[in-house]
Every structure is written in structure tokens, then in C-alpha cells.
Amino acid sequence: MIIHFDYRPEYLYDALHELIRMAYPDAVLVREKNGQANMEIAIALNENTHIISIRGSIKDGARVTAEERSFELNAAEEGRRTEIKKRARIFTFRLLEEHLGQPVNSYGILTGMRPVKLIHRFWDQGMSAADIGERLQHEYQLQKEKADLLVEVAGNERPYLPDPETAGRLISVYIGIPFCPGRCNYCSFSGAVLHSYDNELRPFLAALRKEMEVIGVLINDLGLAVQSIYLGGGTPTVLSTEDMSRLFELLHESYISSATVEITVEAGRPDTLNPAKLRQLERLGVDRVCINPQSMNDFTLLQIGRKHNQEGVVRSVEWAREAGIKNINMDLIVGFPGETLRENMYTAEKILLLHPENITVHTLAIKRGSKMAEMGKAGAGASRVEEVRQGVDYFAAAFRQAGYLPYYLYRQKYMRANMENTGYSLKGHFCLYNIQMMEERQTIIGLGGGGASKFVNPGDWSLSSLYNPRNPDSYVESVETLIQRKVDKLKALP
Ligand code: SF4
């Protein structure tokens, strides 16, 4: 389906477009009228000093849904544009629901990636949990279960958020190793596959070393301390024993101190693991590893291009336990082609037998460029969406019953069923890095391929970001510039 959209004035694009895309996830949205569109969505807004009026229409063949409404504006000048956008979002959300005759987004007008941030802001203002829940439902149009979930997650995170006094001195560090032993069919990262250790990984590691050395010295000069370190990717466990050791030598030299309470390594693909590697990680100080099955159904693992089976996952978890790793996370994905509630139930049963401290439940987001998108294997339609909802709800119920708490949550574009990704944890095992990264109240320095840095001002929790390219060649080529930019940002921290 092709939808022609027309928002006026232009600034409404940011406010409305994602909402409309979520309502029609399989449609192509076009700005230019080209005669091929099957639908038209038009939203136009007029503003006076105290009143705005909004007109909207959805034309779908002969079916037309149209609405016009006026609102009084009470906001002060600096909050005026935000208030106008919110009104336009609520108006459009209701128009879409009226036209479709069903809910379009269980998160109401919230379309951002980090909805829990809003709850922390309300909490800072002194609102109670009950008032926040009410406000989310009535003002932001969230369904009650999602409002309750957000408040619960924020409540679980709250004790771990930095306070403004110490937030400036404590940071976390992400190191990206953007290589994998093969490419999963749902992955859109074309540079992921490691073909030659010597020609690809070695130059990358030399550049990473340079970046780590300069930033490590600066962290100490500025009197910053590292609370958590996350080695992600890709699959960092593609590194040889020697290279992993060298990397940790650098970390112990300049990054790890008595303030460092968590070191995670994403050992995502069980096919990169063996007992010696896991013992080495434990010796180097790693206390959390992610062993990610995604599904425990062998036919699915084969279909999505993972080079391991259920047995490989179970074995890897046993090796990690034998090595003395204290915290194991396991990532799951709901919505793979061919998987229904029955397969999700099987996965939940097998995962719970392994007693991981953390379980992260994602919903499949098919990105352009992935093999699955090219093969048109994403699956679409209302029944598929319903299956994904059932799977997510089932995991939530099964894991809660087994004692897990939802402790961080985020959303992504192109997710099946417009739901969420949720991190569950047994009490006392919350991953600090995940909380700090998601709620953006701690400076995070991203090093290596795809490393995202966030520089936070604890005065008002405002932030600025820098991104390292994920592609290893681009990273190697631009590392000097990336280092300099990071140095400037760190020196400018309040
Ligand atoms: S492990 Fe992750 S980064 Fe690597 S190919 Fe699979 S989805 Fe992509």
C-alpha cells in the first residue's frame, strides 16, 4: 500500500510521522503526489495567540474519515511548540483509531525509543506512581497495562539512577567489536561477517587500542571513575585469547578501578564459545556474559542463520557456570517466521531450566538490508501481530512467575506489533549498564565500532551524542578524528 501524506506546517513531521507509520506498518509513505497512492492522510494546523485549530482527513478509496477541532493553549511561550505538537499527536492518534476501528499503538502518542525517561521526569517533579499512571492513560493515551509496565520498570530502576551530585564523576564505557562468525538472517549489518582475522580484525584492533589509550589517560586526568563496562558488538568473543588479554590489560591499566562494579561481555553466539574462553573471561574480571539463543527451537535457529542449536546454548551456559561467571543474560526474540505461542512456550520452558539471572525479550524488528527483509519472510497481517502479542505476554507471565522483574525497557522502529523490548532480572542482578544507557543520566563513552557516546549534563539531564561508525573500515579510517571529538566533549563536561 502507498500512502500520500501531507502535514502542515512542516514541523509536524517529527510529531506525527512515526505515529502514522506505526498505524500502517506495511505501507510505503510518500510525500510527493505521484498518482499511485491508495490512501491520503492530511493534517493541517492553524495557530492564533491562544487557540489552535486542527483539521485532519484520511481518504482510503471511497472511505473518508475527517475531523476538525480547536484547542485553547495555556502553555508559556517556551513550552508552546511542545504543547502544540502534543495536541496534534493526540488529534491524529484519535483520527487514526476512528478510521481503523482498532487501537493503533498501545503506547498511545509515545513513539520514542525510551518511554521510561518520561516517567523519571514525572517522578523528579514529585508526582506519585498513581498520578503518573493516570496521566499516561489520559493525557498520553497509553493502554493501562503499558502505563503500569512503564511505572513498574521506572520504579525498579530508580535506586540505580545517578543522583545529580555524583552523576558528573561516574561514567560507563562501551566497547564495540563489530565482527561476527556469520550473519544472522534478521541482521541488517552487512559488514558483520569476519572473513580474515589478519586483514580485518588486526587493523581494527590497532585503531581501537589507540582510541582506548588516549581516552583512558584522559578519564584519569579528569578524575572520572568507570562504574560499568560493556563489551558488545557484533560478537566480541570472536577475539583470540591473546587479543582478548591485551584488550583487558588496557582496561585494567586505565579504566577498571574499585568503582567498577560490572563488566559484561556479549558472548552472543554460542558457536564462538568454549570452556577455556569462558574461564579466561572470568579470570580477566568479567562478571556478566550474554549467551543469546534467540529461540530454543532448532528449526528456527537453522532458519534465521544461527550456527548453533539448543544443545550448544545449554552447553555454553554450563561452561559459563563452571567458569564461575556470576551473571548470565539470555536474549530471546518473539516473532520469527514459523514461530507461534507453542514455540515460545517451549523456549520459555528450556530457558527457565538454565536459571539465567537476566533474560531480555525482544520483538522482531525486520530492518531493511537484512536477508529476511529481502526474502520477504517477515510475515505480516493481523494474525501475525496477534501471535507476537501472545508470545510477549506469555514470556512476561512465565518469567514473572519464576521471580524475574522487568527492569529496563525500550522500543525500536519496525517492531512487529509495535510492542517493546524488556529486560527481566532476578532481584539483585539488574544490569547497571543497561539502566544507565537507557535512561541517559550517566555519561557513557562509546569506543570501537558502533560505539555511541552520550555526554550528560547532570544540571538538567540534557545530553549530546557522538557515534563511531559501525563499519570497521570507516572506523579505522576516521579514528583520529573520532578520538579528538571525544576528547573535546569530555573536556567540556561540566
Ligand atoms: S550476532 Fe548480532 S550483529 Fe552478529 S550477525 Fe547476528 S544479529 Fe548481526
Of the three residues 76, 99, 122, the one that is the final residue of a domain is: 99
Do 9 and 137 share a domain, yes or no?
no
* Three-state secondary-structure class, residue 241: helix
Question: Are 33 and 104 spatial neighbours (Cβ–Cβ below 8 Å)?
Answer: no
Do 455 and 484 share a domain, yes or no?
yes
Do 219 and 352 share a domain, yes or no?
yes
With respect to residue 189, please indicate whether it lies within any of the assigned structural domains: yes
Do 396 and 465 share a domain, yes or no?
yes
**477 CA distance to ligand 1 middle (Å):** 23
Among 179, 185, 187, name the best residue to mutate to test ligand 1's pocket (greatest count of ligand atoms within 8 A of Cβ): 187
Do 126 and 273 share a domain, yes or no?
no
With respect to residue 44, please indicate whether it lies within any of the assigned structural domains: yes
**Omega before 379 within 30 of 0, i.e. cis:** no
Provide the CA 93 distance to its chain's centre, in angstroms.
24
With respect to residue 493, please indicate whether it lies within any of the assigned structural domains: no
With respect to residue 41, please indicate whether it lies within any of the assigned structural domains: yes
pLDDT in tens, the chain (494 residues): 899 999 999 999 999 999 999 898 878 899 988 778 889 999 999 988 889 999 999 999 889 999 999 998 877 777 888 899 999 999 999 999 999 998 888 999 999 999 999 999 999 999 999 999 999 999 999 999 999 999 999 999 999 999 888 778 999 999 999 999 888 988 888 667 899 999 999 999 999 999 999 999 999 999 999 999 999 988 999 999 999 999 999 999 999 999 999 999 999 888 899 999 999 999 999 999 999 999 999 999 999 988 889 999 999 999 999 999 999 999 999 999 889 999 999 999 999 999 999 999 999 887 778 888 877 655 554 557 889 999 999 999 999 999 999 999 999 876 666 789 999 999 999 999 999 999 999 999 999 999 999 999 988 899 999 999 999 999 999 999 999 999 999 999 98
Can you read off the three cell numbers belonging to residue 73?
493553549
Question: Are 25 and 418 spatial neighbours (Cβ–Cβ below 8 Å)?
Answer: yes
Range of the domain at 246: 170-488
Amino acid identity of residue 402, one-letter, is: A
User: Residue 373 has what pLDDT?
Assistant: 81
Among 189, 190, 301, name the best residue to mutate to test ligand 1's pocket (greatest count of ligand atoms within 8 A of Cβ): 189
Among 185, 186, 195, 235, name the best residue to mutate to test ligand 1's pocket (greatest count of ligand atoms within 8 A of Cβ): 235
- Name residue, grid cell 589509550: 213
Can you read off the three cell numbers belonging to residue 124?
523528579
**275 CA distance to ligand 1 middle (Å):** 22
Q: Whose CA is nearest to atom 6 of ligand 1?
A: 184
What lines the ligand 1 site, CB under 6 Å? 180, 183-184, 187, 189, 192, 234-235, 268-269
Question: Are 228 and 171 spatial neighbours (Cβ–Cβ below 8 Å)?
Answer: no
Q: Which of 477, 17, 494 is nearest to 204 (CA)?
A: 477
With respect to residue 7, please indicate whether it lies within any of the assigned structural domains: yes
137: CB partners within 8 A, 6+ apart: 108, 143, 144, 147
User: Residue 189 has what pLDDT?
Assistant: 80
User: Residue 377 has what pLDDT?
Assistant: 54
**335 CA distance to ligand 1 middle (Å):** 17
Interhelix angle for 144-157 vs 129-138, to 10°? 140
Do 219 and 197 share a domain, yes or no?
yes
With respect to residue 344, please indicate whether it lies within any of the assigned structural domains: yes
Q: Kindly report the pTM of this predicted structure.
A: 0.93
* Three-state secondary-structure class, residue 96: helix
Q: Which residues pair with 290 in a beta bridge?
A: 266, 329
Which atom of ligand 1 is found nearest the CA of 268?
Answer: 1
Work out the number of other CB atoms within 10 angstroms of the CB of residue 233.
25
**CATH number of the domain that 380 lies in?**
3.80.30.20
Do 142 and 224 share a domain, yes or no?
no
Can you read off the three cell numbers belonging to residue 13?
513531521
What's the number of domains the chain is made of?
Answer: 3
Do 62 and 123 share a domain, yes or no?
no
- Name residue, grid cell 562501551: 174
Which atom of ligand 1 is found nearest the CA of 189?
Answer: 8
How far apart are the C-alpha atoms of 299 and 313, rounded to whole Å?
14
User: Residue 418 has what pLDDT?
Assistant: 73
Do 187 and 316 share a domain, yes or no?
yes
Of the three residues 99, 123, 142, the one that is the final residue of a domain is: 99
With respect to residue 327, please indicate whether it lies within any of the assigned structural domains: yes
User: Residue 383 has what pLDDT?
Assistant: 53
Do 4 and 119 share a domain, yes or no?
no
Give the pairing of strands 358-363 and 327-334. Answer: parallel
Which atom of ligand 1 is found nearest the CA of 193?
Answer: 5
Do 232 and 357 share a domain, yes or no?
yes
Phi, psi dihedral angles at 443 (to 5 degrees): -65, 130
Please report which residue ranges of 285-405 form alpha helices under DSSP H. 298-303, 310-323, 341-354, 371-374, 382-401
DSSP 368: T
How far apart are the C-alpha atoms of 360 and 333, rounded to whole Å?
8
**191 CA distance to ligand 1 middle (Å):** 10
DSSP 336: -
Question: Are 179 and 233 spatial neighbours (Cβ–Cβ below 8 Å)?
Answer: yes
Question: Are 285 and 308 spatial neighbours (Cβ–Cβ below 8 Å)?
Answer: no
How far apart are the C-alpha atoms of 154 and 402, rounded to whole Å?
21
Do 46 and 80 share a domain, yes or no?
yes
- Name residue, grid cell 574499585: 258
Which atom of ligand 1 is found nearest the CA of 182?
Answer: 5
**395 CA distance to ligand 1 middle (Å):** 23
With respect to residue 494, please indicate whether it lies within any of the assigned structural domains: no
Among 177, 184, 190, 231, name the best residue to mutate to test ligand 1's pocket (greatest count of ligand atoms within 8 A of Cβ): 184
Q: Whose CA is nearest to atom 5 of ligand 1?
A: 183
**Burial category of 451 from C-beta neighbours within 10 Å (exposed 0-12, middle 13-18, buried 19 and up):** buried
Among 183, 265, 306, name the best residue to mutate to test ligand 1's pocket (greatest count of ligand atoms within 8 A of Cβ): 183
Amino acid identity of residue 425, one-letter, is: S
For residue 99, give the H/E element and its range: helix 80-100
SS3 content of the chain, % helix, strand, coil (to 5): 45, 25, 35
| Helix (H) and strand (E) counts in the chain | 15, 16
Which atom of ligand 1 is found nearest the CA of 183?
Answer: 5
Of the three residues 52, 79, 99, the one that is the final residue of a domain is: 99
At residue 69's C-alpha, the angle toward residues 121 and 65, to 5°, is 105
User: Residue 379 has what pLDDT?
Assistant: 52
Phi, psi dihedral angles at 111 (to 5 degrees): -120, 0
